[in-house]
Each structure stands twice: as C-alpha cells, then as structure tokens.
Amino acid sequence: MQERIIKIYRTTIGSQYYHYNCNKLAEDLNDLGVTAIMTPAYDETGPHYPSSFLKKSETPPYLPQLVKALKQYNIRTILTAPIFHDPQYFDAHPDRAPVDQLGNPFQPTDWYKPVCPSDREFRELRLRQLRELLRIMKPDGLSLDFIRFPLFWETLDYTQPGTAIPEFCFCSRCLKAFQITMHVALSDHESSAKAATQILQTFPTKWHEWKGRVIKSFVKKTFSLARQLSLETSPILHFIPLDGPAFPFDVQQRLGQRLAALSPEVDTIHPLLYHQVLQQSPGWVHQYIQYLAQTTHKHILPAIQAGRIYKPAELPLSEFLEVVHLALLPPSRGVAIFSYDLLCPSSHANPRESEGFQRLKALFSHTGRG
Ligand SMILES: [Zn+2]
C-alpha cells in the first residue's frame, strides 16, 4: 500500500483554528485521506510528549492525545526525531558550534542550529532521549532527521557551478577523532583552517570516510534501540538529495551520508525532494526516485513541498499537484507532503475550505487509498 503522509508541526496543532484540539485535526486529516502523519517528537521549544528529564515545552505535551485521536481513523503516527540539530543545545554550548573549512564557527541565519556529530556527550543525550521517547510513545514509526554533518542547504544557489558550499566540521574534537580513527597525523591541528586545507588536499577520501563512519555508527545505535524496544518498522532515514545526475558536485560525502555505507542498515530512505528549493523541474522528482531506488534497492518514500520555501516566487497549486502525482509513480512507496501549514496557510480559517485541501483530497481519492 502506498503511503499518503502529511507533515504536521506544533504550529499546526497550536494554530488559531485547531488550538490543540486533536480530535478536530484528526477528523480533518481523515477527510483529506492520509494514511499517516509525520510529526516532530520535539522541537526548539522542548518535547511534545511527557519526558521525565527534558526541560518542558511551553506548549502542552499534545502527542499522546494526537496519536489516540488519529488511531480512531486508522491514521498512523510516524514520529520524527531531529538528530544533529538542537537549538537549545547549540545556544547553551557556544564553544561547541560546528566549525567550517575556514575555521569559522557555524553562524545560524535562521532556525537551523546544528550540533557537531562527533560530540560524544550530545550523542549520549540524544540516545537517552530516543530511548525514553520510544518507551513512552511506542510510535507506529520513527524517522531520523538531520542525521548528517551540518549544511543549511535550503538557500544555496544550485544553478551556479562552483557555488561555495561550506563544509563542516573541523572543530578540535573532530580533528582529534579523525587522526586517531584514521591513523593520520596532521602537521598543524591547532588551527582549524590550516588543518582543513591539509585534510581536503591530502586526505579527502579518508576524511569523508571518517565522516560517513561517524554518522553510520549513530544510525546503527538508533536501529538497535528501535529493535530492543520492539518498534514495528525500522527507522526511516531523511536524506538531502544533492547527488545524482542533476548536481555537479557530490555533497553527500561532505554530509557523511554515504549511501553505499548506509544502505545495509536502512530499509526506507526519505529524500527531501523540494524541487523548487533545489531549482529543479517537477519531472526531476520522479527521475530522482528512480535513480535512488536503482542505486540503493531500498524503499523510497519521498517528501515534496506544498508551497514556497525560501524562494521569492509562489509555488502554483497546479505544479504542486503535478509533483504529488509524479512522486506517487512506481517505484515510490508513497508521498509525504511538507506540510499541512504550507497546504492550508491560513492559521484561523477552516483548512477544509482551502482549495489546496480540496484538490489534494480529490487527487488522493482518485489515486486510491490502497
Ligand atoms: Zn566537530
């Protein structure tokens, strides 16, 4: 059965219209015809479930109630866990910010506040948090977001060959761990910029292999945790689609998301095919799904954008619907739409009265719920 998923955020549930009324939201999502939702288990405000040790969010812990409301309609809940992105941790540890190849610590320009993936203390904290989350919530599925080295990819210009793409992380902890693990001696590891120059000129393959290992080891730990706690399906891996024929550079290895290395661990890959953000045509969405399925032999569950993200031009509704259709073509396992807020942008009007809602509902019912 193909999935029809919509991504729901705190801003949806806490909107003027829903105001934490989970039954009302579940009823509308059932009318839309979705099979599941994807929603963050926690965000910059804190956890949305009753955690015993994390600082409480200022909003009510609405997830248990939302899951229950959705179950009445057989709509499943896939909880998204942002991994190496944590605004609270980033703000509390300015000395641990990821460092780029010029030696500059990461400067947040918007909501994105990444954490260095080799930060052992953070990794342990995240695993403890995931263990508690799975134990309390027993979700229908878990998806791992930001499971990579940092990059704010949403605003880069992909039409410019040679666009300067920052690479992370050359912090002292990463430099030390790289040298020990890969048996490399850097001539100057006191300066991040000098070390980065030497690494990228002399040891690029080893460096990217090491980054892949740092990410893979966390993926493995999360998967074994999910097995221990009897999660029904293995976690879904979010993936930035900056590889393949459309892109003249290989960003994947800089992110530590090496498909060849990660594939044996993963069943389902969740590429974020935001075609307007990546300056691609609607047709690219289907081509990329085919490419990823052929390269990995894994289930591909794509995410697509329902509206404008960081671009001056609007995304026409007709183009969004065309992309939904293309994203559902085989070998895709379904589609996840980012997001309900983009589909129905008014925070106080009834979403069912929006054109986007009605036309997506018609498309879903036309293509069958399986
Ligand atoms: Zn680092």
Let me know: does 299 contact 266? Beta carbons within 8 Å: no
Residue 203 has pLDDT above 50, yes or no: yes
How big is the CA angle at 186 (ends 183 and 189), to the nearest 5 degrees? Answer: 125
What spacing in Å lies between the alpha carbon of 315 and ligand 1's midpoint?
Answer: 37
Least confident of 7-16, 176-185, 324-333, 360-369: 360-369
What spacing in Å lies between the alpha carbon of 164 and ligand 1's midpoint?
Answer: 20
Query: φ and ψ at 146, to 5 degrees?
Result: 50, 40
pLDDT at 190: 82
CA distance 5 to 80: 13
What spacing in Å lies between the alpha carbon of 120 and ligand 1's midpoint?
Answer: 10
Q: Is the dihedral of CA 39, 10, 126, 83 positive or negative?
A: positive
CA distance 23 to 357: 18
What spacing in Å lies between the alpha carbon of 41 and ligand 1's midpoint?
Answer: 25
DSSP string covering 181-249: HHT---S--SSHHHHHHHHHHH-HHHHHHHHHHHHHHHHHHHHHHHHHTT-SSPPEEEE----STT-SS
Let me know: does 24 contact 112? Beta carbons within 8 Å: no
Let me know: does 327 contact 285? Beta carbons within 8 Å: yes
CA distance 271 to 285: 10
What spacing in Å lies between the alpha carbon of 115 and ligand 1's midpoint?
Answer: 8
Read off the pLDDT band of 259 (50, 70, 90). Answer: confident
Instruction: Classify strands 36-40 and 3-7 as parallel, antiparallel or unpaired.
Output: parallel
Angle between helices 192-202 and 172-182 (to 10 degrees): 30
What spacing in Å lies between the alpha carbon of 245 and ligand 1's midpoint?
Answer: 30
Q: Which residues of 254-286 are buried (b: 16+ CB within 10 A; e: fewer)?
A: bbbbbbebbeeebebbbbbbbbbbbebebebbb
Angle between helices 22-32 and 355-367 (to 10 degrees): 50
What spacing in Å lies between the alpha carbon of 179 and ligand 1's midpoint?
Answer: 13
Query: φ and ψ at 295, to 5 degrees?
Result: -75, -35
Token representation of residue 58? 């200022």
pTM for this model (two decimals): 0.95
What spacing in Å lies between the alpha carbon of 112 and ligand 1's midpoint?
Answer: 16
Determine the distance from the C-alpha atom of residue 354 to the mean position of all C-alpha atoms in its chain, rounded to a whole number: 27
CA distance 359 to 320: 10
CA distance 204 to 218: 22
Instruction: Considering only CA atoms, give the Rg of the chain.
Output: 21
Let me know: does 309 contact 277? Beta carbons within 8 Å: yes
pLDDT tens figures, 73-126: 999 999 999 999 999 999 999 999 999 999 999 998 789 999 999 999 999 999
Token representation of residue 48? 């949305």
Residue 33 has pLDDT above 50, yes or no: yes
Let me know: does 114 contact 150? Beta carbons within 8 Å: yes
The DSSP element (H or E) to which 36 belongs, if any, is strand 36-40
Least confident of 164-168, 294-298, 338-342: 164-168
What spacing in Å lies between the alpha carbon of 173 and ligand 1's midpoint?
Answer: 6
Which residue in the block uniquely carries the two structure tokens 């739409």? 337
Phi-psi label, residue 297: left if phi above 0, alpha if psi -120 to 50, beta otherwise: left
What's the average model confidence in pLDDT over 198-226? 95
What spacing in Å lies between the alpha carbon of 105 and ligand 1's midpoint?
Answer: 10
DSSP string covering 142-188: EEEES-SS---GGG--TTSTT-----B---HHHHHHHHHHHT---S-
Residue 156 has pLDDT above 60, yes or no: yes
What's the average model confidence in pLDDT over 141-162? 87
